[in-house]
């Protein structure tokens, strides 16, 4: 997949971040990460420094703590983690090692999407080289007591396994189903031990922050969305690929860069994101407005938005783990509703029922999959209600 803009990761000196980290004590590393303002790049945007602080403070009753890198990357339209792991695996492993030092973990796991199995030999080679260079193993960088190693665990091939508690279940050899929270993984995660689960890109930025300084990172982006963000941009555009932009960029500017100025809508955040109409292209990418784990899908002028909604809804109906009713039944009902709308067989009254069902799914589903699965349907219908209802003579 093509890299379309210069990437900061390419300019980071190898292992400068790890060296800077061991020059500090673990609380000093956590303080640096907090000062940088970096938030998790996996989509939810939880502050990374705070997550690590909680994991470091939680009692390690089983005698260990864990660092888990979420490389499940199953969100439709997201492919930036694949690029990071192919181009800069050292940076990701370095960030995980820094996390191990910061929270007092001796073991790290890379949970690698099943479809990325082809990458595993290169990643294992990278880990081997790091062990030989004493960047993993016992007494890393000559620091007595700094022992940390990483192994790779192949994902189970389900989208829900990217949800951090389902991922932990899967790592423990069980069916990948989300857990009730609390307790959160920072308190009781893998094997009941305090665990930080972070996205691939988050770990790479951690290494960059330690190398270049918290101030450098905090100087990029906006008040609540610090730093640069990698976006996987696809759809009806001239130049699909992976781009790096500072947070706060407008959709209009993104479209100019990718050759998609004639778009009718842009879906920010993948299948569980928001469908933004052309009238709102001054909106910005960042936690203040449109947050995204990295997926930006551009919808050209000739597409039927109901086809887009049907495509995503089919995905959710297939990928729901089935544990809770709002998600298991709700996604099937929404899919049926979209098909009724396409056939012109959905009354305005039934459409209102479907929209109310979306609200129920958002509040009553157990995990982020069910909670966010109605987003695209809702945003399309909110924009296009009159056009859709006009082509839908009320028959039921
Ligand atoms: C259904 C579902 C799938 C997810 N898939 C991923 C994924 O593939 N990669 C990822 O980093 N986070 C994914 N997440 C978010 C994780 O639960 C978690 O928030 C994230 O790994 C935390 O890392 P961060 O704080 O660095 O963003 C998913 C969440 C849900 C609800
Ligand atoms: S919301 Fe969906 S995916 Fe999440 S636990 Fe419930 S059924 Fe499973």
pLDDT, residue 137, reads: 97
CA distances from 17 to 20, 205, 238, 250 (A): 5, 10, 36, 31
* CB-based contact 117:307 (threshold 8 Å): no
Strand 228-235 and strand 295-299: the pairing is parallel
CA distance 181 to 335: 29
Q: Ligand 2 atom closest to Cα of 322? A: 7
Cβ of 56 less than 6 Å from ligand 1: no
pLDDT, one tens digit per residue, over 83-108 is 999 999 999 999 999 999 999 999 99
Neighbours of 68 (CB within 10 A): 25
Ligand nearest to the CA of 360: 2
Cβ of 73 less than 6 Å from ligand 1: yes
Supply the residue whose CA is at minimum distance from atom 6 of ligand 1. Answer: 162
Question: Which pTM was predicted?
Answer: 0.96
What DSSP element (H or E) covers 107? strand 107-112
**Contacts for 238 with CB less than 8 Å, ≥ 6 apart:** 258, 259, 260
pLDDT, one tens digit per residue, over 299-354 is 999 999 999 999 999 999 999 999 999 999 999 999 999 999 999 998 889 999 99
CA distance 72 to 86: 14
Neighbours of 96 (CB within 10 A): 28
CA distance 74 to 65: 26
pLDDT, residue 2, reads: 83
Cα 42 to ligand 1 centroid, rounded to whole Å: 5
CA distance 101 to 30: 10
Strand 66-71 and strand 107-112: the pairing is parallel
Supply the residue whose CA is at minimum distance from atom 8 of ligand 1. Answer: 73
What DSSP element (H or E) covers 66? strand 66-71
CA distance 263 to 278: 7
Q: Ligand 1 atom closest to Cα of 178? A: 31
* CB-based contact 159:75 (threshold 8 Å): yes
pLDDT, residue 382, reads: 81
What residues form DSSP beta bridges with 296?
A: 233, 268
Cβ of 50 less than 6 Å from ligand 1: no
Cα 135 to ligand 1 centroid, rounded to whole Å: 27
At 392, the pLDDT band (50, 70, 90 cuts) reads low
CA distance 333 to 339: 10
Q: What is the DSSP string of 257-270?
A: HHT-TT-SEEEETG
pLDDT, residue 387, reads: 64
Cα 298 to ligand 2 centroid, rounded to whole Å: 27
Average pLDDT over residues 236-261: 97
pLDDT, residue 18, reads: 98
Cβ of 319 less than 6 Å from ligand 1: no
CA distance 395 to 181: 43
Tokens 């459409």 map to which residue? 351
CA distance 297 to 77: 6
**Token couple for 153:** 């665990």
CA distance 22 to 24: 5
Cβ of 80 less than 6 Å from ligand 2: no
At 272, the pLDDT band (50, 70, 90 cuts) reads confident
* CB-based contact 267:255 (threshold 8 Å): no
Average pLDDT over residues 31-43: 97
Could you tell me if residue 52 is left (phi over 0), alpha (psi between -120 and 50 degrees) or otherwise beta?
Answer: alpha
Cβ of 47 less than 6 Å from ligand 1: no
| Chain center to CA of 153 | 18
Cβ of 270 less than 6 Å from ligand 2: no
Residue 33 has pLDDT above 80, yes or no: yes
What residues form DSSP beta bridges with 70?
A: 111, 199
CA distance 34 to 30: 6
CA distance 220 to 213: 12
| ∠ CA 81-7-218, rounded to 5° | 90
Q: Ligand 1 atom closest to Cα of 78? A: 8
Average pLDDT over residues 265-285: 93
Ligand nearest to the CA of 81: 1
Ligand nearest to the CA of 41: 1
């Amino acid at each position: 997949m093509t890299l379309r803009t210069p990437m900061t990761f390419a300019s980071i000196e190898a292992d400068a971040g790890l060296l800077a980290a061991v020059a500090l004590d673990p609380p000093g590393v956590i303080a640096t990460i907090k000062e940088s303002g970096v938030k998790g790049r996996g989509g939810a945007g939880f502050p990374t420094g705070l997550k690590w602080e909680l994991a470091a403070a939680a009692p390690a009753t089983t005698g260990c703590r864990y660092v888990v890198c979420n490389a499940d990357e199953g969100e439709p339209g997201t492919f930036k983690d694949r690029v990071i792991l192919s181009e800069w695996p050292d940076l990701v492993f370095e960030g995980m090692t820094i996390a191990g030092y910061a929270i007092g973990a001796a073991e790290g796991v890379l949970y690698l999407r099943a479809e990325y199995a082809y990458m595993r030999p290169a990643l294992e080679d990278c880990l081997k080289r790091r062990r030989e260079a004493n960047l993993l193993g016992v007494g890393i960088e000559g620091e007595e007591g700094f022992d940390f190693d990483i192994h790779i665990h192949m994902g189970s091939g389900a989208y829900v396994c990217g949800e951090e508690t389902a991922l932990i279940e899967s790592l423990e050899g069980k069916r990948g189903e989300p857990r009730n929270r609390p307790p959160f993984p920072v308190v009781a995660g893998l094997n009941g031990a305090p665990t930080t689960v972070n996205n691939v890109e988050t770990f790479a930025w951690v290494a960059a922050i330690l190398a270049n300084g918290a101030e450098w990172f905090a100087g990029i982006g906006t008040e609540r969305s610090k730093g640069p963000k990698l976006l996987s941009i696809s759809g009806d555009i001239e130049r699909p690929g992976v781009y790096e932009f500072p947070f706060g960029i407008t959709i209009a500017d993104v479209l100019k860069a990718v050759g998609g100025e004639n778009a009718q809508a842009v879906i920010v955040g993948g299948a569980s994101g928001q469908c933004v109409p052309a009238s709102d292209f001054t909106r910005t990418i960042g936690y203040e407005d449109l947050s995204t784990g990295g997926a930006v899908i551009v919808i050209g002028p000739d597409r039927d938005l109901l086809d887009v909604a049907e495509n995503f809804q089919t995905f959710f109906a297939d990928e729901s783990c089935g544990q809770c009713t709002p998600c298991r039944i709700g996604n099937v009902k929404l899919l049926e509703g979209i098909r009724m709308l396409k056939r012109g067989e959905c009354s305005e009254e039934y459409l209102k029922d479907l929209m109310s069902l979306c609200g129920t799914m958002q509040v009553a589903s157990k995990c982020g999959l069910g909670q966010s699965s109605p987003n695209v349907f809702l945003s399309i219908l909110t924009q296009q209600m009159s056009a859709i209802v006009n082509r839908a003579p009320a028959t039921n």
